Structure 1
Amino acid sequence: MLYDYLKRGVAAGLVAGLAYGLFVALVANPLSQHVEAVGHEHAHEHGHAHEHSHAVSELTTTVVSVGSGVLWAIFLGGVFAIALYFLEPALPGRDAAKAYVLAGAGFLTVSATPWLVLPPAAPGAEHLYGVQTRQALYLALVVVGAIVAAASVLAYRRTAPRHPLAGVVAGAAPLLAIGIALPLLTPTTVTHSGLSADLVAAYQGIVVLSQAALWALLAGAFGRLHDWESATTDVTAERTRDHATRDDRVANP
């Protein structure tokens, strides 16, 4: 059973990863290159002499970004499948909804909560903390995100049976609390000198939306694969019964 979940999760990760890789190649990388060019526009005095090497660098960056995005999605799909296998009974909603609930919890845990303190950094960003400090802080925020996600699900499950709307409010309360508290209690950790606020907001918005879409695609692909496997199993079982009936009629005319 776990193997079936894992196989389905890896396949869903591949589907989501290919879509995510296409997005990276067509949208995310060009935007990153534009942001980098804007940040260094005064330092390109010898740009014409390096056009060929710059083009090769862009191609290499695109290939590496797309490949790493696909591999990340496949890994994420495997972890997602294992988590769903063990946590499915505790998640609210029906079969398909459970996958989306877990995907939302995953996005909250590994992306949304850490970004409240360590927002996506555009090329050329200046960081308040060093690399090791940021890594330790990120891991701590992942733990916080997991706790908040669990609290949200638990609050909904306890309240929704009595009143569905109250369940939604109770489930949203921990999310709103962390969304308000963390930005207020923590300093600004990333600055973007030389970039307009609108450009930074656009870059960060693209990063957030792409990760949210990756999780949604993962859950959707997982659900569709589950439906397809169930339909295939039903058809196979029906054919087996038909063959058994024919054999019985032949043996006992």
Structure 2
Amino acid sequence: MSLTAVKNVVDLTLRSAVLRGLLAGLIAGLLAGGVAYVTGESLVDQAISIEEAGAAPHSHDSTVAGEDHKHGTEDSPLISRDGQRAGLFLATSLTGGAFGVLLAVVWFALTRKLVNGPKTQTILSLAVAGWTATAAVPWLLVPPNPPAVGATETIDYRTHLWVIAVLLGLTAVITWFMVCRWEESRPGSSILLKALPGLAAAAIVIVGWRILPESGTDYSGFPADLLWNFRLASAATQLTLWLALGIAFQFLIERRAMRN
């Protein structure tokens, strides 16, 4: 990057960064919605068919990257499937926009402390950290469930478990960052010191997994392949969201920096 481009990045205002983060998030949300639609909607339809056939007697909720399928009475859903499909793209776009703003604020705050101002190289690292905290760790500790899995009366309980899992993910990421800073300040560079940040973060996730209560979800009578395919679709959606967010935000920041 040229000296002019570096100066343009340094002079970037918080408002400008946030606007670019919002735009990047909306783009990423639409892409994630497309992945969720292609990989997950047919699985949702299959799960609903199982529920309607009486194979699983519980009302439920399901989530693929923020999409909620909530059923009302036994005969009719509160929201039609067409409405749910349209709501999927709205939900992923809003989620992407919110994460984009958050990413922009965190990036701006952190990189302002660097000697030469904001560094675009940190954007993808922050996106990976966001994915780890809000998607990867919760996916491991409280995996998402499709329709026909989980009773309605346990929704609040499972939501609380998910929030705890996100907090554990954030704690793991912050711990990794702090230990990295500490390791960089230490003389020498032994293999153990280099591995310490990852080990500390992994230890937090493992301890959280061990102490986090069971969700009490009954999976009996539900096809295992459908369950795991749904979870893989959810993971692919979240990965697309954060990867696209990081790439789009970095592109928009660098494009602004290279202007003139």
Into which bin does the TM-score normalised by the smaller protein fall? 0.7 to 0.9
Select which of 199, 203, 214 maps to 2:230.
203
- The question of 1:126 aligning with 2:150 is answered yes
Question: Deviation per CA, 1:136-195, whole angstroms, max 9, x where unpaired?
Answer: 443333333222111111222332574386565222113322343333333431332322
Bigger drift between 108-117 and 118-127 goes to 108-117
Aligned amino acid, residue 201 of structure 2: L
Bigger drift between 57-66 and 152-161 goes to 152-161
Residues in 1 aligned to 2:211 and 2:153: alpha-carbon distance in whole angstroms: 16
Quick check: 2:124–2:247 contact (8 Å CA) kept in 1?
Answer: yes
**Distance change in 2, residues 1:129/1:160 (3 Å):** farther
* Deviation of the 1:90 alpha carbon: 7.2
Residue 117 of structure 1 corresponds to which residue in structure 2?
A: 141
**Distance change in 2, residues 1:227/1:111 (3 Å):** same
- The question of 1:66 aligning with 2:93 is answered no
- The question of 1:147 aligning with 2:147 is answered no
Residues in 2 aligned to 1:195 and 1:188: alpha-carbon distance in whole angstroms: 18
Quick check: 2:18–2:104 contact (8 Å CA) kept in 1?
Answer: yes
State the superposition RMSD in angstroms: 3.0
Taking structure 1 as the reference length, what is the TM-score of the superposition?
0.75
Q: Kindly report which structure 2 residues correspond to 1:1-253, keeping only aligned pairs within 5 A, or say none.
A: 1-41=13-53, 57-88=80-111, 95-126=119-150, 130-160=154-184, 162-163=188-189, 166=192, 168-189=194-215, 190-232=217-259, 235=260
Structure 1: any 5+ residue segments left out of the alignment?
44-52, 236-253
Question: Deviation per CA, 1:85-120, whole angstroms, max 9, x where unpaired?
Answer: 1123579xx934411222222222223333343221
Q: When you count helix as a share of all residues, which structure comes out higher?
A: 1
**Distance change in 2, residues 1:4/1:132 (3 Å):** same
Aligned amino acid, residue 152 of structure 1: W
* Deviation of the 1:10 alpha carbon: 0.7
Corresponding pairs, count: 221
Residues in 1 aligned to 2:139 and 2:237: alpha-carbon distance in whole angstroms: 14
Taking structure 2 as the reference length, what is the TM-score of the superposition?
0.73
* Deviation of the 1:214 alpha carbon: 0.8
**Distance change in 2, residues 1:38/1:132 (3 Å):** closer
**Matched residue SS, 1:95:** coil
Residues in 2 aligned to 1:65 and 1:21: alpha-carbon distance in whole angstroms: 6
Quick check: 2:20–2:253 contact (8 Å CA) kept in 1?
Answer: yes
**Matched residue SS, 2:80:** helix
Residues in 2 aligned to 1:87 and 1:5: alpha-carbon distance in whole angstroms: 13
**Distance change in 2, residues 1:58/1:165 (3 Å):** farther
**Distance change in 2, residues 1:166/1:231 (3 Å):** farther
**Distance change in 2, residues 1:135/1:41 (3 Å):** closer
**Matched residue SS, 1:125:** coil
Bigger drift between 61-70 and 192-201 goes to 192-201
